[in-house]
């Protein structure tokens, strides 16, 4: 193996690991939603702000991250993202000591700002770390580590954050003020050790990336991968099919984040007596189905046009979410878990269909599609509002509506002959 080959291979290993790391961070939020609801005595709308803070950070930093890389290169963007990620994780310690929910939300915002840098850098960087003819294969391989990280995040949170101690309102009311405050404090402090370990590990990984020799393509000014000019964006605003894709992506991320955020809550509400750790296992199962669905969907696209497959999966998820909302119970829970399999192909398929035919506008178009993930920040608390005013089952009508929007987009893309 030549020195050049070793350099590319080591760099690729370090960058592929990032897909795993942000999968861990993303789905730890699903555990935090359940945990903070108990520790801070929050309703479903208030606890939904966990995802609002997180995905708003993604939204705010997508374009700044692209501009940063245009000026300093991919490697610098990765190191900056890891440092922000690590700093946000370490902020969980003073947040826990202060017992401040707003402080935790601020820490999550910082973590998300770092992840925005990582996602903006890692995807294009994987494609250039090796021969051009193997770019798609490398990126597909790298993306497979994301749901693995998601599963690891849920398992980590279930094991080290969720205590298994679940006291209802009557039990906590019967406690003395001292005992009640001690209980809340112990629940809040449970996040300290996991996030301390994550923070130190991520900062150490940043140091490793910084010290590792990367190929020149990763360190040169990425002038060809920056965001487009103002004129590009004005042109995009006149592309109705592209804007429909941005809207579809907004609703997809909102549906995905919302379902996973409230799956534990749904399980415990609709199947009374379900312990929180068992409910977390249902979330792990959902993520496993998501992983399987990603590979199955990729295989099916060899025979079925992507727009048609997207529409079919969206229609199935409309039915599954509607059933979960109207039927409830164990059957409704099974239906909700099953949605993860059919969600698996949606993000990349919407992304590819939206960019089809944009030509030189692809760079600017990509940045707006990444920013569309703010749907997770908007629609998760919307589901929480429905749950607070009605029931957690009724809240599943929100993702049903989201999948209906995706179905319309898929039908439109199919009719216009677009292909991913």
Span 227-263, pLDDT tens digits:
456 677 788 888 888 999 999 999 999 999 999 999 9
Q: Assess whether 204 and 262 both reside in one domain.
A: no
Query: What mean pLDDT is reported for the chain?
Result: 86
Q: Assess whether 204 and 249 both reside in one domain.
A: no
Span 361-416, pLDDT tens digits:
766 677 788 788 899 989 999 999 999 999 999 999 999 999 999 999 999 988 76
Return the CATH number at 198.
1.20.1250.20
Q: Assess whether 113 and 55 both reside in one domain.
A: yes
Q: Assess whether 126 and 184 both reside in one domain.
A: yes
Domain boundary among 223, 249, 284: 223
Domain boundary among 177, 204, 223: 223
Q: Assess whether 53 and 131 both reside in one domain.
A: yes
Return d(Cα 415, Cα 398) in angstroms, integer: 26
Q: What is the value of pTM for the model shown?
A: 0.78
Q: Assess whether 299 and 376 both reside in one domain.
A: yes
Return d(Cα 28, Cα 44) in angstroms, integer: 17
Q: Assess whether 265 and 340 both reside in one domain.
A: yes
Q: Nearest CA to 166 among 265, 96, 263, 99?
A: 265
- 30 CB contacts (<8 Å, ≥6 apart)? 154, 157, 260, 261, 263, 264, 283
Q: Nearest CA to 15 among 83, 74, 86?
A: 74
SS3 assignment, position 364: helix
pLDDT score recorded for residue 222: 47
- CA distances for 114 relative to 55, 58, 80, 88, 110, angstroms: 12, 8, 7, 8, 7
Domain boundary among 158, 191, 223: 223
Q: Assess whether 163 and 41 both reside in one domain.
A: yes
Span 76-133, pLDDT tens digits:
989 999 999 999 999 999 999 999 999 999 999 999 999 988 887 777 677 667 765 5
Radius of gyration of the chain (CA): 21
Q: Assess whether 67 and 173 both reside in one domain.
A: yes
Domain of 109 in residue numbering reads as: 1-223
- 287 CB contacts (<8 Å, ≥6 apart)? 27, 147, 150, 151, 154, 260, 340
Q: Assess whether 209 and 308 both reside in one domain.
A: no
pLDDT score recorded for residue 302: 75
* Cα angle 9, 15, 19; round to 5: 135
**What's the domain count of the chain?**
2
Q: Assess whether 211 and 302 both reside in one domain.
A: no
Q: Assess whether 208 and 245 both reside in one domain.
A: no
């Amino acid at each position: 193996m030549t020195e050049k080959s070793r350099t590319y291979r080591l760099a690729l290993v370090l960058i592929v690991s990032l897909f795993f790391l942000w999968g861990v961070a993303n789905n730890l939020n699903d555990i935090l939603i359940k945990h903070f609801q108990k520790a801070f005595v929050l309703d479903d709308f208030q606890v939904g702000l966990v995802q609002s803070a997180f995905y708003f950070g993604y939204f705010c930093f997508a374009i700044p991250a692209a501009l940063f890389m245009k000026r300093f290169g991919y490697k610098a963007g990765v190191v900056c993202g890891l440092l922000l990620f690590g700093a946000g994780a370490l902020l969980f310690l003073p947040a826990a000591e202060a017992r401040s929910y707003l402080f935790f939300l601020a820490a999550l915002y910082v973590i998300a700002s770092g992840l925005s840098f990582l996602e903006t850098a890692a995807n294009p960087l994987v494609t250039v770390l090796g021969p051009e003819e193997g770019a798609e294969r490398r990126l597909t391989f790298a993306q497979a580590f994301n749901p693995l990280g998601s599963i690891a995040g849920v398992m980590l949170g279930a094991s080290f954050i969720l205590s298994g101690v679940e006291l209802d309102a009557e039990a906590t009311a019967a406690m003395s003020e001292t005992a009640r405050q001690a209980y809340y404090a112990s629940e809040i402090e449970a996040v300290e050790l996991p996030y301390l370990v994550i923070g130190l590990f991520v900062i150490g990984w940043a140091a490793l990336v910084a010290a590792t020799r990367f190929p020149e393509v990763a360190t040169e000014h990425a002038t060809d991968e920056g965001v487009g000019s103002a004129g590009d964006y004005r042109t995009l605003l006149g592309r109705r099919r592209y804007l429909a894709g941005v809207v579809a992506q907004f609703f997809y991320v909102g549906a995905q984040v919302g379902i996973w955020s409230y799956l534990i809550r749904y399980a415990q509400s609709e199947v009374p007596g379900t312990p929180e750790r068992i409910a977390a296992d249902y979330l792990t199962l959902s993520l496993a189905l998501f992983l399987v669905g990603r590979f199955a969907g990729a295989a099916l696209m060899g025979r079925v046009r992507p727009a048609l497959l997207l529409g079919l999966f969206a229609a199935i998820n409309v039915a599954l979410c509607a059933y979960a909302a109207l039927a409830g119970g164990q059957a409704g829970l099974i239906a909700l878990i099953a949605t993860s399999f059919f969600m698996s192909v949606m993000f990349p398929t919407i992304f590819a269909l939206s960019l089809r035919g944009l030509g030189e506008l692809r760079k600017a178009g990509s940045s707006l599609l990444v920013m569309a993930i703010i749907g997770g920040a908007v629609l998760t608390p919307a589901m929480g509002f429905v749950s607070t005013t009605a029931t957690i089952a009724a809240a599943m009508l929100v993702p049903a509506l989201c999948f209906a929007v995706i179905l319309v987009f898929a039908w439109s893309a199919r009719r216009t002959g677009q292909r991913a």
